[in-house]
Amino acid sequence: MKIRELVQHWEQNAKGHMSPTGHVLHLDMESEARLAALIDMYPKRQPEELLGELVAAALEELEASFPYIRGQQVIATDEEGDPLYEDIGPTPRFLALSRRHLHDLSSNVDDDGK
């Protein structure tokens, strides 16, 4: 979800699945004031939900901003038959690490019976 889509998401009051992991987050004063404004604007949402969704949207946009760095290996061809080269930039590593951590988190939840 993109950051610009969050307001519509909040207006619809949809809820996502929360990780059991807690985090302590210290904000600068301006960010804290902006968060307080969002809390006032969307009182049906918990501050933790707002922060979690903001972080998720920011991470999605960060992932999309990673540069594509063309590798040497052709991994596919497009609809016109032109070669598509592997991405050796940060995106594949980020995705692999994200999958690994998601698997670990999912395994921990399953092991705990939650």
How does pLDDT run across 13-68, given as a tens digit for each residue? Answer: 656 666 777 888 899 999 999 999 999 999 999 999 899 899 989 999 999 999 99
Question: Can you give the pLDDT at residue 13?
Answer: 62
Query: What's the mean pLDDT when you consider all of the chain?
Result: 87
pLDDT grade for 114, boundaries at 50, 70 and 90: low
Question: Can you give the pLDDT at residue 97?
Answer: 96
Q: Is residue 104 over pLDDT 80?
A: yes
Q: Is residue 7 over pLDDT 70?
A: yes
pLDDT: which is higher, 18 or 106: 106
Task: Give the side-chain half-sphere CA count within 13 A for 87.
Answer: 11
Among 59, 53, 51, smallest CA distance to 8 is for 53
Question: Can you give the pLDDT at residue 6?
Answer: 76
Asked whether 13 and 45 are in contact (CB, 8 A), the reply is yes
Is the pTM for the entire model greater than 0.85?
no
